[in-house]
A = this chain, B = another copy of it.
């Protein structure tokens, strides 16, 4: 089974979709949107639900290069087969470059990261959220790869606390912000090995100014976790690959935002709704189609 790694039937479908007759497009979209039902229920059954002719399914399959609906369905079924977590397929060293080694790498990575998430301690997150809830103002700092996490947190918190959340270093050099930190405010610093000087400086400034310091880090001994009121730990090195994993940090950030929102109660909800209404009014988003 050294197959040349045929691409997924769904992507074949999607590529061929625009060049198909209208009815076949319709059916094709239905299959793409309900591919699980496509693998389990019968063709006629699907046709009834899609409001189309059963023959259209056969024609669709042939149009994208299969001998018939049965063959397409078989391909979809294989594509959906749950990843066999065989102990041998895993991290067996001596992975040779080949069409399937990349897929194995991805599967390993996803599984490892999924395994890491439930190990994240929940209680400190809830406590940190309470601290955020009480803070008059929230500063967020993250550098290099962690900047993305900082921005995500900044974005989500601003949805319902627009005036009170600020990313460190957006309006000028970091130092301007560092001097502005006051007691009663909260500072979130995100970082993992190797730690940047910049993040450590933010943490120290927060500590000195008497603000609440929340560190999202990969270790209790991380320099920005020193003197922190809350340390939220994630596993950065748990997954294979050339780069430490940020999935855990993102999950923490989102949980933190979710709990803080939940603590905000009706007021937070109202402010979120206002923000969304404003975005819709500015036609930032594509209108949903029925």
**Are B221 and A241 interface neighbours, CB within 8 A?**
no
Q: Which of A49-57, A107-115, A169-177 forms part of the interface with chain B?
A: A107-115
CB distance from A250 to the nearest CB of B (A): 5
A48 — which chain B residues lie within 8 A by C-beta?
none
- Number of residues on chain A facing chain B (CB within 8 A): 94
Binds B, one of A61-69, A181-189, A224-232: A224-232
- Judged by a CB distance under 8 angstroms, whether A33 is at the interface is yes
Partner of A14, one of B81, B103, B228: B228
A197 at the interface (CB under 8 A from B): yes
A221, B13: Cα distance in complex, Å: 12
Our pick among B193, B196, B262 for the contact of A288 (Cβ within 8 Å) is: B193
- Determine whether the beta carbon of B284 is less than 8 Å from that of A196: yes
A4 to chain B, nearest CB (A): 12
CB distance from A242 to the nearest CB of B (A): 5
Residues of B within 8 A of A111 (CB): 117-118
CA–CA, A7 and B182, complex, Å: 24
Contacts of A15 on B, CB cut-off 8 Å?
A: 229
Q: Knowing A120-B110, A285-B195, say if A247 contacts B254 (CB, 8 Å).
A: yes
A194 touches B250 (CB 8 A): no
A145 part of interface (Cβ distance < 8 Å): yes
Q: Are A197 and B286 in contact (CB under 8 A)?
A: yes
What is the minimal beta-carbon distance from A28 to any residue of chain B, in angstroms?
10
A156 to B244, CA, bound (A): 10
Task: Kindly provide the distance from the CB of A131 to the nearest chain B CB, expressed in whole angstroms.
Answer: 11
Query: Chain B residues near A102 (CB, 8 Å)?
Result: 126, 129-130, 259, 262-263
Per the bound structure, the CA–CA distance linking A284 and B149 in Å amounts to: 19
In the complex, the answer to whether A254 meets B109 with C-beta atoms within 8 Å is yes
Asked whether B272 lies within 8 Å of A109 as measured between CB atoms, the reply is no
| A80 → B minimal CB distance (Å) | 8
Interface residue A277 (Cβ < 8 Å from any Cβ of B): no
Contact present for A110 and B103 (CB under 8 Å): no
A178 within 8 A of B: no
In the complex, whether A135 has a CB less than 8 A from a CB of chain B is no
Q: Does A94 contact B (CB under 8 A)?
A: no
Give the shortest distance, in Å, between A170 (CB) and chain B (any CB): 13
**A251 near B247 (CB under 8 angstroms)?**
yes
Given contacts A144-B155, A247-B247, 15 further A-B contacts (CB under 8 A): A14-B225, A39-B40, A82-B118, A103-B123, A106-B122, A106-B258, A110-B117, A110-B118, A114-B118, A145-B156, A195-B285, A200-B286, A240-B258, A242-B257, A242-B272
A-B contact pairs, 16 of them (CB 8 A): A7-B127, A11-B127, A79-B123, A106-B125, A107-B122, A109-B258, A110-B117, A111-B117, A144-B284, A147-B151, A196-B284, A240-B258, A241-B258, A242-B257, A243-B258, A250-B250
